[in-house]
Amino acid sequence: MEGGAAAAVEVLVQNLIDLCKKEISQIRGLDKDAAKLAGSLDVIKNFLKDAETREITSDAVKSWLKKLENEAFDADNVLDELNYHILSKKIKATKPMKAKVLSCFSSSFNSIARPRKMAVRIKEINENFESIKKEATELGLVARLENEPTLVNAATFETDSFTLDPIFIGRDDVASEIVEMLTNSITTDEQAVSILPIVGMGGLGKTTLTRKVFNRLKDESRFGSHLWVHVSPNFDAITLFKKILNNLTSCQVEIASREDILAKLKEALKDKTYLLVLDDVWNQDGLKWEDFMNSFLGVSCVKGNAIVVTTRNMEVASIVNSLHIHELKGLSEEECWLIIRAKAFGKEDVPSEFEAIGRKIARRCQGLPLAANIVGGVLHNHNKSEEKWRSIEEKWLSPNEGGDNMTKILRLSFDNLSPPLIKKCFAYCAMFPKGSKIMERELIEFWMAEGFLQADGRDDMESVGEKFVNVLLHNSLLQVSERDDDGNVESCGMHDLVHDLACSVSRSSNSTGGSSRVRYMILGDNYCGDESSRIPKEMAKSLRTLLITSKADISDVNFSDLESLHVLQLHSEVKKLPSIRKLIHLRDFDISKTRIEVLPNWIGEFFHLQTLRVDSSDFRIRRKLPSTIKYLINLRHLYINERAELPMGIGRLTCLQTLKYFPVGDENGCKIEELGSLNNLKGELRICNLERVHDKEEAWKANLFEKSKILNLVLKWNLFREGERNDEDVLEGLQPHSDLRVLQIDGFKGSRFPLWTMKMSVGDAPQGSWVLLNKLMSLTLWNCKECEEIPMLGQLPNLKSLVLSGLENRINYFEFVYYIFTATYHLTFFSIK
């Protein structure tokens, strides 16, 4: 199965349009060419809407899309290189004119084509896109406006309540539970209608389960009317009212006004209660749902009704005002095998050799009854051939043996993803091996590096990425693997069948035949087809993401060939950085699992870099960052650990959102005042070595009070220190924002906490008043050995965790514990040592 290329190319084309209109159009001599290119790309983008509906059936359109994709990637490299040159000039203007400083940049600058040469290349790009635009017209593609509706590719199958499901395994208890829940709701609830959504990915058996529930309730005559409506992706109220009326009257409704249809519905329902099943709902528009429900409730005045909604999307379930959301789980391996056995052999005995193979196949179904049914049907045709069963087990479900039916069903989830950027983000996940644990934050940063995430007026790229992850989770195209203590998603996984779908729609397949180009690769998983880690030069030229595992031998990798690379993850035991200086397109660079301790000065030449991971779990490795890191003006995420050394100039990185550790430097290092300009920092911030801060005025320059996105703050002094102490003065100047959720103070050696800490309030300078830290959920005081008083905690309404350790000076713990349990009512965790 193919498809999805149009969505992928649309992402590229939009990025090129943005580059032309913003950066390139401002260059004298290139403005006209940039405007012409942007115009061509706008037209091509409109052709893509039509191409998306034809790419599955038309080989010519597939070929056109592939040509467009390759040209778009090449153009992206050229324009990105020109943008790099613009950035380099801006950086040069901010530097002192010293030969010894400029020399560290000269190599890369001299290798970048100058605007005159770039003008020639842009003219060539213009000509190529003109040719592609002309070919689109010759193919009969129609330019559609962006908001013009397009047809859904995947076939939808009308469901009904009468189809027999002879094999119903593993769901009897669930069906009984839902029947009981609906029965209780209509007898005890005072509401006019009780709504129950059943949510699960394609193939889990939602319709089969609902049909069983529907028919049980029908047999028990719980309702006056039993109505089954298959909704499909198009949620239109009038269409639904017509279907319901047809259900009630057994006659086709001719074209009529909404008012007439509702009047007939009211007459048909009269004083009867109803059970309505809305099967396969995709609508996420709350207003559409309210419009439908308000009208439908108006045609019946009887209480005790029920609506069951089946959907693949948790977002759909959340808007229907339900009494309970039933999230359907997968079957066990044993239950999948029972389905396969029933489909393949009926009531006949199964030979032991067939059963051994069949159980392996059942494991591959991973809990999906639809998969078990499909493969069971295939095996039924070969239930006399052990060799054929082994072949099917080895190949799983190939398209000509039933697999295409499965992927068509799963494909519907993909086809309904919007906007197209999400489709590209989903297809990108095909790069990860089956069974992989995908870290959410890392995945979002990869998407960002590849240009899949576009900030809008409300959300930055990272927030858009989080929304995309949630969309994929809601549509069961990703599954949650791990959550943190606050319930946030930490890692995801993909069902094997969903992974197959991702591979089928991905235009970066791991084959190099024909015109295909590999864009994303994990090296060390034999993706090149042999045991070697060597990447062929032609393949290397088009790679944009390269994740190198510890299994790979990087001595076989020629990094200078990776000229298009945007993401490089180096998880190898190397001690020296390979020759990557010319990789000017790099956006995401990770050496966290290497043994590299010193980064070269030329790291500061990666002006496009957005994410740099140099943190290490190995306490023996102490990473030193060069002073040139201050030139990475697009850096948004810097991952370091407490042992890293920050150079002076970090305050210039005003795009930074992630900087979990800020070790205050000595006289020649990074001062705390450099935090002052980093007002985009988010999440967690741990400020270490606070003994190096001289006084309140210096601490105040960190501007913590203005950093409202810092929710988790750790303030740490070195416990083993000598000399003069000014802890009270410094802590007073480190007053945080009132939105703080977590506060930890470690190694404070003052005898009294400053006023903001004692009051658990922060001074609001413009208003001249105090604002309570009423969002604080966790407070930890470690090794504050000389403190004589404890902060006032009784007025913190959301405090749930309190940890006190090493508070040794004149504190009456018995009185304090009594105070804690009488003044703080919401504590769920309390520790005192």
pLDDT exceeds cutoff 80 at 742: yes
pLDDT of residue 685: 97
Show the tokens assigned to 792: 């006032």
Give CA–CA dist 153/55, Å, rounded. 9
pLDDT of residue 607: 95
Mean pLDDT of the chain: 83
DSSP annotation of 645 reads B
Q: Which of 231, 202, 158, 236 is nearest to 415 (CA)?
A: 202
pLDDT exceeds cutoff 80 at 102: no
Tell me the pLDDT band of 240, cut-offs 50, 70 and 90: very high
pLDDT exceeds cutoff 50 at 511: no
Residue pLDDT, tens place only, 428-487: 999 998 878 899 999 999 999 999 998 877 889 999 999 999 888 877 788 888 888 778
pLDDT of residue 32: 77
Give CA–CA dist 733/701, Å, rounded. 8
Strands (E), 750-800: 761-764, 769-772, 778-782
Q: Are 756 and 735 in contact (CB under 8 A)?
A: yes
Give CA–CA dist 395/388, Å, rounded. 10
Show the tokens assigned to 132: 């592609």
pLDDT exceeds cutoff 90 at 27: no
Please name the residues in contact with 345: beta carbons below 8 A apart, sequence gap of 6 or more. 354, 380, 383
Tell me the pLDDT band of 292, cut-offs 50, 70 and 90: very high
Long-range contacts of 827-832 (CB under 8 A, 24+ apart): 827/799, 827/800, 827/801, 827/802, 828/800, 828/801, 829/800, 829/801, 829/802, 829/803, 830/801, 830/802, 830/803, 831/802, 831/803, 831/804, 831/805, 832/803, 832/804, 832/805
pLDDT of residue 478: 86
pLDDT exceeds cutoff 60 at 127: yes
Q: Which residue has the higher pLDDT, 77 or 17?
A: 77
pLDDT of residue 409: 62
Give CA–CA dist 757/753, Å, rounded. 6
Tell me the pLDDT band of 725, cut-offs 50, 70 and 90: confident
pLDDT of residue 120: 82
pLDDT of residue 249: 82
pLDDT of residue 1: 35
Give CA–CA dist 310/589, Å, rounded. 43
Whether a cis peptide bond, with omega within 30° of 0, leads into 197 is no
pTM: 0.80
Q: Which of 719, 741, 691, 735 is nearest to 785 (CA)?
A: 719
pLDDT of residue 809: 64
Residue pLDDT, tens place only, 521-550: 998 764 444 445 678 888 899 999 999 988
pLDDT exceeds cutoff 90 at 816: no
Tell me the pLDDT band of 151, cut-offs 50, 70 and 90: very low
Rg (CA), the chain: 31
Instruction: Count other Cβ atoms within 10 Å, centred on residue 324.
Output: 13
Please name the residues in contact with 478: beta carbons below 8 A apart, sequence gap of 6 or more. 429, 438, 469, 472, 492, 493, 494, 498
Q: Are 380 and 344 in contact (CB under 8 A)?
A: yes
Buried b / exposed e over 617-636, threshold 16 CB at 10 Å, is eeeebebebbebbbbbbebb
Q: Which residue has the higher pLDDT, 749 or 147?
A: 749
Calculate mean pLDDT across residues 155-159. 56
Tell me the pLDDT band of 105, cut-offs 50, 70 and 90: very low
pLDDT of residue 508: 40
Residue pLDDT, tens place only, 663-706: 998 887 899 999 999 999 999 999 999 999 999 999 999 999 99
pLDDT of residue 372: 84
pLDDT of residue 444: 98
pLDDT exceeds cutoff 70 at 144: no
- Of 264-273, 407-416, 434-443, 465-474, the poorest mean pLDDT is in 407-416
Give CA–CA dist 169/367, Å, rounded. 12
φ/ψ of 678, rounded to 5, equals: -90, 65
pLDDT exceeds cutoff 70 at 802: yes
* Burial classification of residue 285, based on how many CB atoms lie within 10 Å of its CB (0-12 exposed, 13-18 middle, 19 or more buried): exposed
- Of 361-375, 387-401, 792-806, the poorest mean pLDDT is in 387-401
Please name the residues in contact with 366: beta carbons below 8 A apart, sequence gap of 6 or more. 330, 495, 496, 497
Q: Look at strands 489-493 and 479-483 and give their pairing.
A: antiparallel
pLDDT of residue 458: 83
pLDDT exceeds cutoff 80 at 118: no
CA dihedral over 309, 314, 315, 320, signed as positive or negative: positive
Q: Report the percent of the chain where pLDDT is more than 70.
A: 83
Give CA–CA dist 164/661, Å, rounded. 61
Q: Are 85 and 607 in contact (CB under 8 A)?
A: no
Strands (E), 271-428: 274-281, 305-311, 326-327
Give CA–CA dist 822/482, Å, rounded. 36
pLDDT of residue 76: 87
Is 277 in a helix, a strand, or coil?
strand
pLDDT exceeds cutoff 80 at 103: no
Show the tokens assigned to 56: 């599955």
Residue pLDDT, tens place only, 622-674: 788 999 999 999 999 999 988 888 999 999 999 999 999 999 988 878 999 99
Residue pLDDT, tens place only, 299-347: 887 888 999 999 988 889 999 988 789 999 999 999 999 999 988 888 8
Q: Which residue has the higher pLDDT, 803 or 443?
A: 443
| Look-up of token digits 């007002």 | 679
Q: Which residue has the higher pLDDT, 819 or 548?
A: 548
